[in-house]
Copies of this chain bind each other. A is one copy, B any other.
Amino acid sequence: MPETNRRVLLARRPQGAPVPEDFRLDEAPLPEPAEGEVLIRHRFLSLDPYQRGRMDDAKSYAKPVALGGVMECLTVGQVAASRHPRFRDGDWVLGGFGWQTHSARPGDGLIPLDPAEAPPSTALGVLGMPGLTAWVGLTDIGQPKAGETLVVSAASGAVGQVVGQLGMIAGARVVGIAGGAAKCAFIRDELGFDAAVDHRGDLDAQLDAACPGGVDVYWENVGGAVQAAVFPRFNDFGRMVMCGMIAQYNTSRGAAATGAPPGPNLGPVVRKRLRIQGFIVNDTGWGRYGAFRAEMLAHIAAGRLRWKEDVVRGLDAAPAAFIGLLQGRNFGKLVVALD
């Protein structure tokens, strides 16, 4: 039986939380690389919360995935057949190849990866979009200073774990918010955060203990009850880095939107001179990728920066893993490994 390209398609737009029936596994013939293209065998797919937005047909910063189209993601693969002079079989490459096992792409658009420099899957995490997101948001908005308190939600996740560690490197007191004892132990004991707050427990009491001097920088990944608990704790001149609000991704968008819940009263923004700012890494991040990567590699070499991946195996596992990601069931950067 000849090898085929196995793919995960968007079968229908979710009504609220995605369910397995919103995805469809599909097989297609292996794509044929044209002159100047390469055939890529995918090795790691990146599953990230923003992909929930692509499943809705709502106005956003990026086009939705078409119905029946291949789900989008960043992908690390190896060249399986090259018709481009710069690439040879076995070369590692990065690109937006989607939830599928193979693709054929022009060699000129591919980003080569050096496996001697870092494990290739890190191009999807600490050295990739999530890491760059953390770096851009802290550099441009959060700007934690020595002695300040930085609180990060979804702290064991792909972005949060980098945010917290970069905060520690900047000399801030870092408090991570995560769900459950295992994640809290990880960020506190393995990553070295100053304190961990379990959002399944009493948020206010834990934040009282973890942030005795208030909050200077809050990295927002989740929204909802966590946001409501952190917001009143801002010190004067606090910064709220708006990276995402995963708690409402399933309810506030698309055809089945139940209406977004209200947010905080903005009176303290005036009195405390707060800055609440959103950003999308694609706007300005990739143009600074070189500076980011050099800095991160130096931190890794010095032992100041670690990462944790949550690896699931096989394309068939991707839909369930993604559904779990939106419920906080992943533990670390979620990656699908293909063989």
Contacts and interface: CB of A to CB of B under 8 A. Distances in A.
A245 B262 contact: no
B260 A262 contact: no
A271 B49 CA distance: 13
A177 B252 CA distance: 29
B270 A236 contact: no
A271 B265 contact: no
B278 A272 contact: yes
A219 to B, nearest CB: 12
Contacts of A16: none
A60 B276 contact: no
Given A60-B271, A273-B283, A278-B272, A266 B236 contact: no
Contact of A266 (B223, B267, B280, B283): B223
A273 B140 CA distance: 12
B267 A248 contact: yes
How many copies of this chain? 2
Contacts of A220: 266
A261 interface: yes
Given A262-B265, A265-B248, A267-B252, A277 B276 contact: yes
A188 to B, nearest CB: 27
Nearest to A244: B270
Interface residues of A, number: 35
A60 to B, nearest CB: 6
A263 interface: yes
A242 to B, nearest CB: 4
A108 to B, nearest CB: 30
A99 B246 CA distance: 51
Given A61-B236, A236-B61, A274 B265 contact: no
A319 to B, nearest CB: 24
Contact of A262 (B53, B242, B264, B268): B264
Contacts of A53: 271
Given A223-B266, A248-B265, A275 B275 contact: yes
A267 to B, nearest CB: 5
A245 B280 CA distance: 29
A25 to B, nearest CB: 30
Interface string A216-243: 0000100100010000000010000011
Contacts of A252: 265, 267
4 nearest interchain CB pairs?
Answer: A262-B262, A260-B265, A269-B278, A270-B278
Given A252-B267, A263-B263, A270-B279, 9 more contacts: A61-B236, A245-B267, A248-B267, A260-B267, A262-B265, A275-B276, A275-B277, A276-B276, A276-B277
Interface of A: 53, 60-61, 220, 223, 227, 236, 242-245, 248, 252, 260-280, 283
